[in-house]
Amino acid sequence: MKKNSSLICTVDIGNTTTSIGMYTKKGELKITFSLSSNPSRTHDEYAVILLNIFGRFNITPEMIEGFCISSVVPQLQGTFENLIRKYFPEAKEIILEPGVKTGIAVIYNPPSDVGADRIANAVGVWEKYGKSMTPKKPLVVVDFGTAITFDCISPKGEYLGGAIFPGIFIAVESLFKKTAKLPAILVKNPESVIGKSTTQSIQSGIVFGYASMIDGMIEKISSEFKSDVFSVATGGYSNLISKFCKKINKVDETLTLDGLFYIYIKNVHE
């Protein structure tokens, strides 16, 4: 490892988007950006993109100590592993999979079925909010990805499971493709619950409908815990939808990447 290696790169490979963050060893997030998740791209093509973006921020390969990767796309995981070994040969490589230290117990059947991004979310919410919380509360992460996931963490820091719901993009795309007269729309703040046009009606249904679903799910989760919960929203539409949710306590767009940073530290520096 070269002496000037001082940065940790986190990579969250999702079905639609790959998010990347660059951290100092102290946990300061220096840059974050996203790429389309395209399994047809080679590791060399992704390397050109990454090195170009890093260069714009005066980051050289020698400055990167290591990578921590979560992935729900096996083919792309392999692409990034090849990329790292070829273009960042001195960097450490942590792949979030069974056997990697996370600091949380996974109570799920079987534990290996939990998506790596969901574990990263659980670690992120526990390290950033749960550990220092007084009094302790159950934690819920609502991740607005290709699917909307609800991840539940006990007051002891145990991953308990959650729920999976079709994501907003899937719903909008399905309406457009499966109906003859409904148009493709841009998801944005609706002017009112009662839409005055077809586009406004779809926007209302998507935004207010999903907000109501999320509030309802959090209420049911709280009832199951028999306790109030602390809920954190993350992912692409988290800011937009959370404006209309009564049960979201915090929006944290970098929660998944932060979780990967903590996992890297636990496996390399503790």
Model confidence pLDDT, tens digit, residues 197-207: 888 888 898 89
- Calculate the alpha carbon distances from 43 to 48, 152, 199, 253 in Å: 9, 35, 40, 27
pLDDT at 180: 65
Q: Where do the structural domains in the chain lie, given as residue ranges?
A: 7-95, 133-253
pLDDT at 173: 81
Fold equal for 7-95 and 133-253: yes
pLDDT at 174: 80
Residue 257's H or E segment, with its range, is helix 255-268
Catalytic residues: 117
- Give the CATH number of domain 133-253: 3.30.420.40
pLDDT at 4: 59
- Of the candidates 90, 86, 149, the one whose C-alpha atom is nearest the C-alpha of residue 122 is 149
CA distance 125 to 136: 13
pLDDT at 182: 67
pLDDT at 255: 98
Model confidence pLDDT, tens digit, residues 63-116: 999 999 999 999 999 999 999 999 999 999 999 999 999 999 999 988 889 999
pLDDT at 236: 86
Regions of the chain with pLDDT less than 50:
1-3
pLDDT at 3: 46
pLDDT at 5: 65
| Residue with tokens 């639609």, as numbered in its chain | 16
Q: Which fold has domain 7-95?
A: Nucleotidyltransferase; domain 5 (3.30.420)
**DSSP string computed for 136-152:** ---EEEEEESSEEEEEE
pLDDT at 219: 98
